[in-house]
């Protein structure tokens, strides 16, 4: 597939030998002029060297290039790891003729192995040479690890009659990837927006998307999400009304990427939205959604296409928030399967089983206690997930 680039950004991807089979494993984003930037990073206490470096550099609010490698997380690699991360940005800056402070870096792959810097150093000239306005597909391929397809979303919008583009690229799904060297996400736009505006819009978009997906509950040492604005369009975000016009488009980019991530999760055969409503508060609903969406027993039942609602109730009950055990309704899509905590019989069960045979469906839990609600996108837990993760490093 050919994707048109986002004005102001050139991208590229090459193979430098970190991954097997000569697959692309080194990517670069280059902004023709320094761009405003905002980011969110893993909350894991053990952070990879590139994350620590980016967290420092993003304070300036400006970035002109992002160099990314797959095949190695550069995490738990000590002082050498930090020196390697800095060196990657120095090599990139020198090749592009820009300041090292304007270069950020991300890595993804196995934890605890030193980065083969000779391979990266040797490939950077080719990488810079390959930069082009329509390089997004190459870049998206170069940052993949166990992904089976690249994740790219392009959307357009309008602010006061001026068009703008948002192009998002991501790899690995939130918490699903082996070695937790999981989620990298880079979003480019030609909007004119300040770092603070980007920060605010990014936080809102991530809350609705990347923070609402789960595969296996493990979180990364390397999670990095960066949003860059080149300002190449005439669409200006100068006040809150304009931010409100942009936010739905940005949200759509992130929600679509999040869905692509879960859909391509390891071994995933089912995409399931879990919705909790009628909770005493949104916070309670979130805690219940989180517990249900992570239940291994429920996820294996999804894989088996078994409408085993007892497992949902048991997960609701152990979420640690008050629930009335006698008033819970449960739907698979629009099939009411349990009413007031009692099964609705064989006919409802066979309708629910039909829903579970679909590749995508929604589970709705209505506690009928109050107005709190929350939702999360999860998946099934398959034999292939175990196979992929048992054999990952071999």
Q: Which parts of this chain interact with a copy of itself (CB under 8 A)?
A: 43-47, 73, 75-78, 110-113, 178-181, 216-221, 294-297, 300-301, 303-304, 306, 308-311, 313-319, 321-323, 325-326, 338, 340-343, 381-383, 385-387, 389-394
Residue tagged active-site, from 182, 224, 291, 364? 182
Least distance from a copy of itself to the Cβ atom of residue 203, Å? 20
- Contact between 257 and 168 (Cβ < 8 Å): yes
Distances (CA, A) of 56 to 62, 66, 137, 178, 320: 12, 14, 29, 27, 37
For residue 123, the SS3 value is helix
Q: Tell me the closest approach of the beta carbon of residue 112 to a copy of itself, in angstroms.
A: 5
Antiparallel, parallel or unpaired: β 335-339 and 271-279 = unpaired
CA atoms within 13 A on the CB side of 234: 4
In the bound state with a copy of itself, the residue whose beta carbon lies nearer, of 167 and 221, is: 221
Query: Closer to a copy of itself at the Cβ: 240 or 296?
Result: 296
Contact 37, 226 (CB under 8 A): yes
Indicate the residue among 130 and 175 with the shorter CB distance to a copy of itself: 175
Token duo for residue 230? 């080149």
Rounded CA gap, 173 and 389, in Å? 14
Nearer to a copy of itself, 86 or 133 (CB): 86
Distances in Å between the alpha carbon of 336 and those of 316, 344, 380?
17, 7, 21
| Angstrom distances, CA of residue 59 to CA of 102, 287, 300, 361 | 11, 32, 43, 41
- 182 catalytically annotated: yes
Judged by CB, which is closer to a copy of itself: 46, or 244?
46
Beta carbon of residue 32, minimum distance to a copy of itself (angstroms, whole number): 36
Output the CA angle 239-244-246, nearest 5 degrees.
100
CB of 148 to a copy of itself, least distance (A): 18
CB of 214 to a copy of itself, least distance (A): 11
CB of 344 to a copy of itself, least distance (A): 10
Which is nearer to a copy of itself, 189 or 389 (by Cβ)?
Answer: 389
- CB-neighbour burial class of residue 71 (10 A; exposed 0-12, middle 13-18, buried 19+): buried
State the Cα–Cα distance between residues 57 and 101, nearest whole angstrom.
Answer: 7
Give the separation between CA 22 and CA 19, rounded to whole angstroms.
Answer: 7
Q: Are 142 and 26 in contact (CB under 8 A)?
A: yes
Handedness of CA 104, 110, 112, 118 (dihedral sign): negative
How far apart are CB 355 and a copy of itself at their closest, in Å?
16
Distance (Å, whole) CA 271 – CA 379: 5
Catalytic site positions: 182
């Amino acid at each position: 597939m050919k994707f048109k680039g986002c004005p102001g950004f050139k991208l590229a991807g090459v193979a430098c030998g970190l991954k097997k089979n000569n697959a692309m494993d080194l990517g670069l984003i280059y902004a023709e002029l320094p761009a405003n930037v905002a980011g969110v990073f893993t909350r894991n206490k053990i952070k990879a060297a590139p994350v620590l470096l980016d967290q420092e550099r993003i304070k300036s609010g400006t970035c002109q290039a992002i160099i990314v490698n797959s095949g190695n997380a550069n995490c738990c690699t000590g002082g050498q790891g930090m020196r390697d991360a800095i060196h990657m940005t120095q090599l990139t800056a020198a090749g592009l003729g820009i300041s090292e402070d304007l270069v950020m870096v991300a890595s993804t792959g196995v934890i605890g192995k030193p980065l083969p810097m000779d391979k990266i150093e040797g490939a950077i000239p080719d990488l810079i040479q390959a930069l082009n306005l329509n390089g997004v597909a190459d870049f998206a391929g170069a940052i993949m690890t166990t992904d089976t397809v690249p994740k790219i979303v392009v959307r357009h919008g309008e602010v006061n009659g001026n068009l703008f583009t948002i192009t998002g690229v991501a790899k690995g799904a939130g918490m699903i990837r082996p070695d937790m060297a999981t989620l990298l996400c880079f979003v480019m736009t030609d909007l004119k927006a300040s770092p603070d505006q980007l920060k605010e819009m990014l936080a809102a978009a991530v809350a609705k998307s990347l923070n609402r997906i789960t595969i296996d509950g493990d979180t990364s040492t390397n999670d990095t999400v960066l949003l860059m604005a080149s300002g190449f369009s005439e669409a200006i975000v100068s006040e809150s009304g304009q931010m409100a016009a942009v936010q739905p488009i940005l949200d759509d980019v992130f929600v679509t990427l999040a869905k692509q991530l879960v859909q391509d999760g390891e071994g995933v055969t089912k995409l399931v939205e879990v919705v909790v409503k009628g909770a005493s508060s949104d916070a309670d609903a979130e805690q219940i959604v989180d517990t249900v969406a992570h239940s291994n027993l429920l996820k294996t039942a999804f894989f088996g296409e078994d409408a085993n609602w007892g497992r949902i109730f048991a997960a609701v009950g152990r979420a640690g928030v008050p629930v009335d055990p006698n008033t819970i309704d449960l739907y698979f899509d629009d099939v009411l399967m349990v009413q007031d905590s009692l099964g609705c019989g064989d006919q409802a069960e066979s309708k629910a089983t039909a829903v579970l045979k679909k590749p995508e469906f929604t589970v709705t839990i209505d506690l009928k206690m109050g107005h709190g609600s929350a939702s999360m996108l999860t998946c099934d837990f398959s034999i292939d997930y175990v196979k992929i993760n048992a054999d990952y490093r071999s």
